Amino acid sequence: EGEFQLLSVLIQNKGEALNRDQLMNNMKHRDWYPTDRTIDVMIARVRKKLGDDRSNPKYISTAHGTGYIFIADVLSP
């Protein structure tokens, strides 16, 4: 559920760099601490499930020093 929420937040903010604070604050029912690496672990899991390569991403790009960006095109239903 947490990984799906994370992916949903990234998709809803496509093209915008979101830092850990922004991502965690937009995820429901998650307690966290500023030094928490939960987002990084969840990003790695989502990338693995999507078959995304962090060195040549198709879906989630790392904005070093800023956060994460969903970069893929999203089709509306």
Give me the tens of pLDDT residue by residue for the chain, a chain 77 residues long. 789 999 999 999 999 999 998 998 888 766 666 667 888 999 999 999 999 998 999 999 999 999 999 999 977 76
Spatial CB neighbours of 52, under 8 Å, sequence gap ≥ 6? 46, 58, 59, 60
pTM attached to this predicted model: 0.86
Note the helical H segments in 1-77.
Answer: 2-12, 20-25, 38-50
Q: Would you tell me which CATH number, out of the four given (1.10.10.10, 1.10.8.420, 2.60.98.20, 3.20.20.100), belongs to the domain 2-70?
A: 1.10.10.10
Q: What is the pLDDT of residue 12?
A: 94
Domain range summary for the chain, segments of one domain joined by +: 2-70
Q: What is the pLDDT of residue 35?
A: 67
Q: What is the pLDDT of residue 25?
A: 86
